[in-house]
Amino acid sequence: MSSIIKSSDVVIKGFHSNNYGEIKSLNINVVDEETVLEEVNARKEKIISNSVQEAKEIIEKANESKIQIQKEAIIEIQKMKKEAYTEGFELGKKDGYEDGKKQGYTDAEKELLNKKEELVAELLKQICLVEDSKEEVIKNYKDGLSELAINMAEKIIKTEVNQNEDVIKNLLTESINSYKNIEWLKIYLSSKDYITISTDKDIMEKLLKISEHVKLEVLTDSENGELIIETPDNVINAGVNTQVKNLKSIIFGAQES
């Protein structure tokens, strides 16, 4: 026999079972996408501006490092030339001017070549470090924007859930839209959402068209927006937290691919 559940029928308990079957999730829009985008765009410009400024600073530091290394290389080369001349002059006094000067320049050229290779290697190292830093900055800001969008969306959704009873109604309605002729149906909600659903005549009529045996139960210590639907075949978690997890998977999965 059909029966509409009243608030006095509430059963307070946790959600535990060994026969719930496969847990599934639904991807349901609970707030207008434009609302989330407007909130994100309000802060996105500032973040992008900061990332551009930081990238400019990195490039400026790279150029300064490159110029400094080049200056040091020029000074070192001039110093080594002078030392080579002096060393050649001293050797010339002892073993003959020309031979001494030639030997001094030969030794100095070898040392100069080694020094130049070291300077070039150091320059390349600095440039690579700067390039890596630029890539890291860009990646961090991209990840930051995605994380910001998710956090803001989650905040907006949870605020909407607490303030707007239509959210849980829409979640439940869309979740049961494809259900027909179910032997029995159990729906687990927060205490606040339980009252919202159990007192909504239209939704209760829809539920009773799906099954003659419908039972609403309160999930202990659950947040508003939690929604678990159990049938003889399976259990579906269609709550707000599940939707946020789905959103994260979609965004970060797209970045990795």
pTM: 0.48
Q: Return the exposure string of 202-212: e unless at least 16 CB atoms fall within 10 Å of the residue's CB, then b.
A: ebbebbbebbe
Architecture of domain 7-30+167-256: 2-Layer Sandwich (3.30)
pLDDT of residue 247: 72
pLDDT of residue 37: 56
pLDDT of residue 155: 78
For the chain, domain boundaries: 7-30+167-256, 34-162
pLDDT of residue 9: 40
Pick from 186, 161, 162: nearest CA to 176: 186
Question: pLDDT under 70 in the chain at which residues?
Answer: 1-146, 251-257
